Structure formats: C-alpha cells, structure tokens
C-alpha cells in the first residue's frame, strides 16, 4: 500500500515538473501576418515611445543575463544572419543574443550562398523567410534591405548598410542613458565622416529630441537631400570640430573609411587629418563628457589612444550593450511588448 502511494506521489511530482518545464519552453512569439510584419531598417522605423520601452526592456534583459537567469521567449525560433561585409560585434551579439532567448542562429555569408551568384534578393527573401523566424542583414545599399524586407514574411533587421547602422546607435543611446540618464535635451558631437553612423545619429536626435553637432572636412559633408525638412531643429553643422565638441555631453566618431569605400582610403587619410578626437577636443566638452566609438577603431587616425583608452571612454560597455539592446529588439519584433 505504502509502495503504491509513493509511486502515485512520484508520478504527480513528475507531471508537475514536466508542466513547469514545458511552460518555460514555449515560445512567446506571435504568428507573423504577411504584409503587417514590423521591420527595423533604420532608426526612424520606431517611435520615441517604442524606444522608451526598448531601453527599459534592454536594462531588464541585461540584469537577467548578469544574474544567469534563463529567459527563453524565442524558444525554437531561428534567426538567419546574412553578411555581405565583415563583422565581429554584430555577428557575435546577434548569435549569442538569439541563443540566450532560446532560439538559434544560422550564419549565411553571401559569398557561400546563391545570393553571391546572382540569385535575386526578392527570391532569397521569399525562401529564407519561409524557413526562419527573423532575419538580420549586413550589406551595401539600403535599397537591398528594403527590397529584402518587402518580400519577407518575417521581421528584417538592418545590421549595417552604407546608409544606416540603427542597432549600433540604439546600443549607443542605451549606453548613454545607463551612464548619464535621459538623452533628451543633451548635446552629442559627431566628429568625422558623413557615414552610416552619422546619418543614424541624425535620425536618433530627431526621434529622441537631443542636439547633434556634426563636423567633417570639406568634401565630406552631409548630403542635404538626405536631411529632413526639420533637420535644423536638432542638427548643427560645424566647420571646426572644436565648435562641435564645446560643452558636449557625448563625443563620438567612427573610421575615416567605411567598408565599401576602401578605394578612397588615401584621399580620406589626408582630408581627415584634423578630425581626430584627441585630448584637446575632449577638453572643450563637458568635464563629465563620454567618448563613444562603434568600433573597430584606428588609434592615431579618428581617435587618439589617450582618448579611447582614457577615463572618459565608454567603448567596451557600448560594445557589450549591442547584445542587450538587440535581444530587446528581437523579442519586441517577434513577441510585441512583454512585462
């Protein structure tokens, strides 16, 4: 008799355990409705209110990660990562990020896929989006990610194009907010090329209501056709980088030659000589100003070793935060608001 009761108790215990385990192993992702899928192709694709949610959610996910707590809302979901350019941070943060959310990643280098042999982007999007749940692309022209997204049944994330790098600026904003509080009303100085990062910062300034000061050498200025009608409200163009950095809360820069522009390297090297973020530039910013760089960096070119390795630099936190914000982004695109 005692034996049978013990067996029953054991069976019930096992049943309860199985229920608990299976509930933590259920994906919270909502079914995607073709035509209504939310993509993240540029910073302006989300509203300020959505960013407020994402920043809070990133902090929550970061705290969970730091305390080794399991959180698998994307159990069994697959992320396709398509790379047409090199990457360290983007690949690793997306791959680790989807794994930590309970899913897994497939790395596709265009050189090894049929995309590299001329398969139309539209056809690739149809096929890849029928086999996976979310897609990240790093490529050249913005129009490539746009054509891909237009033919995808699942969310597409821009992992860098010639025009924009929204995941990086999302991480940068999160890093600033974590260290200094709200970015609204603050001043960010951009010293360097009118590249994908600069245009993304411009969108962020407009969306999150802060000031962006931009300084680049003659011949490497912003294209007025790419700036919105109201750009002047949040953007000041400074001929001298000293003016851009005066009393800034954050000074940021990037390589003088982005991927895809290597043929211009020698002319850029001479044109940008006076646009290095060094100790003299940091000295005119606010005493507690931060320095950021999306990395990889070239010490002695766009930034001095003293600045990037100095006390105002927050570049390693900035790099780590790619992981946390992209987890929040993938969770949001697939599950909507949680918590």
Binding site for ligand CP (CB under 6 A): 87-90, 160, 168, 294-295
Residues that bind ligand NVA (CB under 6 A): 160, 165, 195-197, 254-255, 258-259, 294
Out of 203, 322, 324, 326, pick the active-site residue: 322
* CA 324/CA 334 separation, integer angstroms: 16
Based on CB atoms, which residue is closest to ligand CP, 151 or 175? 175
Which of ligand NVA, ligand CP, none does residue 88 bind (CB under 5 to 8 Å by kind)?
A: ligand CP
Out of 167, 294, 312, 326, pick the active-site residue: 294
Rounded to a whole number of angstroms, the minimum distance from the CB of residue 249 to ligand NVA is 22
168 is catalytic: yes
* CA 268/CA 173 separation, integer angstroms: 28
Q: DSSP string covering 36-101, please?
A: S---BSSGGGS-HHHHHHHHHHHHHHHHHHHTT----TTTT-EEEEEESS--SHHHHHHHHHHHHT
Based on CB atoms, which residue is closest to ligand CP, 245 or 294? 294
Rounded to a whole number of angstroms, the minimum distance from the CB of residue 197 to ligand CP is 9
324 is catalytic: no
**What order do you get walking across the sheet with 134-138 strand by strand?**
104-109, 78-83, 134-138, 156-158
221 is catalytic: no
Which candidate, 64, 139, 110, places its Cα nearest to that of 323?
A: 64
15 is catalytic: no
Rounded to a whole number of angstroms, the minimum distance from the CB of residue 89 to ligand NVA is 7
φ, ψ (nearest 5 deg) of residue 26? -100, 130
322 is catalytic: yes
Number of helices (H), then strands (E), belonging to the chain: the values are 12, 9
Residue nearest to ligand NVA (CB): 258
Which candidate, 163, 173, 242, 247, places its Cα nearest to that of 206?
A: 173
Rounded to a whole number of angstroms, the minimum distance from the CB of residue 255 to ligand CP is 10
Out of 57, 89, 91, 138, pick the active-site residue: 138
247 is catalytic: no
Active site residues: 138, 165, 168, 254, 294, 322
């Amino acid at each position: 008799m005692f034996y049978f009761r013990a067996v029953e108790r054991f069976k019930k215990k096992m049943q309860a355990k199985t229920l608990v385990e299976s509930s933590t192993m259920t994906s919270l992702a909502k079914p995607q409705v073709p035509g209504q899928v939310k993509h993240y192709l540029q910073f302006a694709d989300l509203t300020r209110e959505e960013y407020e949610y994402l920043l809070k959610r990133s902090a929550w996910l970061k705290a969970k990660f730091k305390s080794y707590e399991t959180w698998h809302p994307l159990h069994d979901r697959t992320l396709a990562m398509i790379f047409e350019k090199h990457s360290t941070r983007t690949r690793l943060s997306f791959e680790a990020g989807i794994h930590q959310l309970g899913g897994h990643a497939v790395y596709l280098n265009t050189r090894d896929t049929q995309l590299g042999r001329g398969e139309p982007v539209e056809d690739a999007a149809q096929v890849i989006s029928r086999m996976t749940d979310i897609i990240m692309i790093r490529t050249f022209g913005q129009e490539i990610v746009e054509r891909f997204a237009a033919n995808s049944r699942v969310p597409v994330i821009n992992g860098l194009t010639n025009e924009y790098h929204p995941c990086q600026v999302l991480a940068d904003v999160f890093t600033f907010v974590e260290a200094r509080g709200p970015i609204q009303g603050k001043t960010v100085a951009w010293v360097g090329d009118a590249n994908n990062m600069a245009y993304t910062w411009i969108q962020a300034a407009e969306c999150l209501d802060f000031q962006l000061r931009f300084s680049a050498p003659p011949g490497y200025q912003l294209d007025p056709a790419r700036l919105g009608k109201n750009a002047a409200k949040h953007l000041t163009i400074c001929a001298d980088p000293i003016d851009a950095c005066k009393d800034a809360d954050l000074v940021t820069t990037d390589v003088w030659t982005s991927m895809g522009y290597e043929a211009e390297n020698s002319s850029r090297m001479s044109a940008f000589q006076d646009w290095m973020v060094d100790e003299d530039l940091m000295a005119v910013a606010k005493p507690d100003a931060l320095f950021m760089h999306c990395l990889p960096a070239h010490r002695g070119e766009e930034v001095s070793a003293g600045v990037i390795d100095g006390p105002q630099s927050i570049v390693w936190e900035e790099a780590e935060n790619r992981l946390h914000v992209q987890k929040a982004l993938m969770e949001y695109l697939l599950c909507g608001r949680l918590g």
